A and B are shown apart, each in its own frame.
Chain A
Amino acid sequence: MITTFTENDLLRYLYGESTDNEKTSIENALVCDSELEAKYFDLKLDSSLLDGLLFDPADFTLDKIFSFSCNYQSGT
Chain B
Amino acid sequence: MNNLSVSDSLLVSHYKNGSEEAFEELVARHKSRVFTTIYLIVKDKYVAEDLLQETFIKVIKTVKSGKYNEEGKFLPWVLRIAHNLAIDFFRKDKRYPTIVMEDGSGVFNTLAFAEDSVESVQIKQDTNALLKKLVQELPEVQKEVLIMRHYMQMSFQDIAESTNVSINTALGRMRYALINLRKKMQKLNIAYDHHFYRK
A residues bordering B, Cβ < 8 Å?
7-8, 11-12, 15, 17, 42-43, 45-58, 61-62, 64-66, 68-70, 72-75
Contact = CB atoms under 8 A, between A and B. Distances in A.
A51 B198 CA distance: 8
Given A62-B31, A75-B65, A52 B53 contact: no
Interface residues of B, number: 46
B160 to A, nearest CB: 12
In order of increasing CB-CB distance, the 9 nearest A-B pairs are A46-B178, A8-B171, A74-B65, A54-B32, A74-B64, A65-B56, A52-B198, A57-B35, A61-B49
Interface string B187-199: 0000000001111
Summarize A's interface: helix, strand, loop or mixed.
helix
Contacts of A69: 20, 23, 56, 60
A62 B6 CA distance: 21
Interface in B105-121: none
Interface string B4-40: 0000000000000000100110010001110110010
